Chain A
Amino acid sequence: MTPTGPDAPLPVALRAEALEQLLTERGLIDPKVMNGIITNYESNVGPLNGAKVVARAWTDPEYRRRLLDDGTAAIKELGFSGTQGEHIVVVENTATTHNVVVCTLCSCYPWPVLGLPPSWYKDPAYRSRVVAQPRTVLSEMGLDLADDVRIIVRDSTSEVRWLVLPERPAGTEHLSEAELASLVTRDAMVGVAKVEAP
């Protein structure tokens, strides 16, 4: 059988191209609109938005209070809102409490602050296991928590989207808000990592 023979499986990329062509020919989609969506999620919407939120909360106690009180409104103050961010609840990780977020039913994720989810978040292994063995899963991902740290798993089963406010690392008192934002990773804002001092 040749790779291009009639029995060869159709690559998913080719099926995507076919669907795009069929819908474009009938005027149901506009390739310019498609390109705009792709560029927006590749360039504008991403974890940097969330990192700015975290850095602001670390440097401004009033903002931190508002953020934990009404995450959606406080995040909107910095200009971030939209699809998959209608209602964002921010929870704080501390030395004794650790929140970690998952969506076991699909891959719900707070797009306006973190962008589209990374591959590990969408992986069946993460979706199935973190709700049953969070400490083991976090350890496999490189985060070993002390035995006395209380873990709270947040399964995103409705339209509530969770954002974890990570602990500010020690030794960062001299850093500016922008420098702090550059330390904050997407993984820390989902709760599978901590933020490290530079």
Chain B
Amino acid sequence: MDGVADMGGAPRWGPVHPPRRHEPVFGEPWQGRAFALAILSSRIACGGVNTDAFRHALERLDRAAYLGDGYYGRWLNGAELMLTERSILAPGAVEARARNLRGEHVDEPPIPEPDRPHYAPTAEGSLRAVDTVPAFAVGESVRARNMSVPGHTRLPGYIRGHVGVVESRQPAAVLPDTNAHFLGENPQHVYSVRFDSRELWGADADPFALTVELYESYLETIS
């Protein structure tokens, strides 16, 4: 979906941070707790692992919740959103408990009746076999569809409308656009598509190539 999470080519982010040697996996203990909580909460909220639904939860966080609390804070906020949407948690439950933990005395909301989606992945992970003939061939020029998607998608904004060449075909996989919303797995063929930097960023761009993996419905034939 279009928003803060789709960062490719976004301006004004300033210099990158060079790598630090021996950076700890979790800089602070709460980050490890938040990581594990997010993994487990995703299962509690969906009844199965739905990475697409979790990514969509992250995408829907407001800018402060996405950026302000850092990477693991984002995961924690996404987990809370999923749990609240599925009525595992009442709105405000985490905040009320946190206030009580720091010594305030506030009422906590009652536990709601859970409302989980009917969701059962047909297999582990996202790879699936499909029996349709691939619509595009290796070496073929293709255009990424120029479509704005209100829900979840893995079609980045900076690719839309641009022409590339199919570099290879990857294993077929569950379509994130429907799976994230519990509307079915709809597995599709997936293609690695190679774009030229000048096609993406204009004639003055540094010369380089870029590949993205695009699901079949993100692509159209060049007429």
Contacts and interface: CB of A to CB of B under 8 A. Distances in A.
Interface residues of B, number: 84
Nearest to A15: B98
A146 B19 CA distance: 21
Nearest to A134: B208
A73 B8 CA distance: 31
Given A42-B26, A160-B213, A37 B7 contact: no
Interface residues of A, number: 73
B95 interface: yes
Contacts of B67: 124
Interface string B78-120: 0110010000110001110111011110000001000000000
B18 A17 contact: no
B35 A116 contact: yes
Contacts of A178: none
B158 interface: yes
Contact of B37 (A23, A151, A152, A158): A23
Interface in B39-97: 39-41, 44, 55, 58, 67, 69-73, 76, 79-80, 83, 88-89, 93-95, 97
Interface centre among A21, A87, A156 (most CB of B within 10 A): A87
Given A14-B102, A15-B76, A157-B154, A21 B97 contact: yes
Contacts of A42: 25-26, 32
Interface stretch (A51-59, A61-69, A101-109, A165-173): A101-109
A136 B207 CA distance: 12
Nearest to B34: A16
A45 to B, nearest CB: 9
Interface centre among A15, A23, A130 (most CB of B within 10 A): A15
Contact of B15 (A26, A34, A140): A140
B40 A34 contact: yes
A159 B89 contact: no
A126 interface: yes
A34 B173 contact: no
Nearest to A33: B40
Given A41-B25, A126-B16, A132-B205, A157 B156 contact: yes
Interface of B: 5-11, 13-21, 23, 25-30, 32-37, 39-41, 44, 55, 58, 67, 69-73, 76, 79-80, 83, 88-89, 93-95, 97-99, 101-104, 111, 125-127, 154-156, 158, 170-171, 173, 190, 192, 194, 197, 200-201, 205-206, 208-215
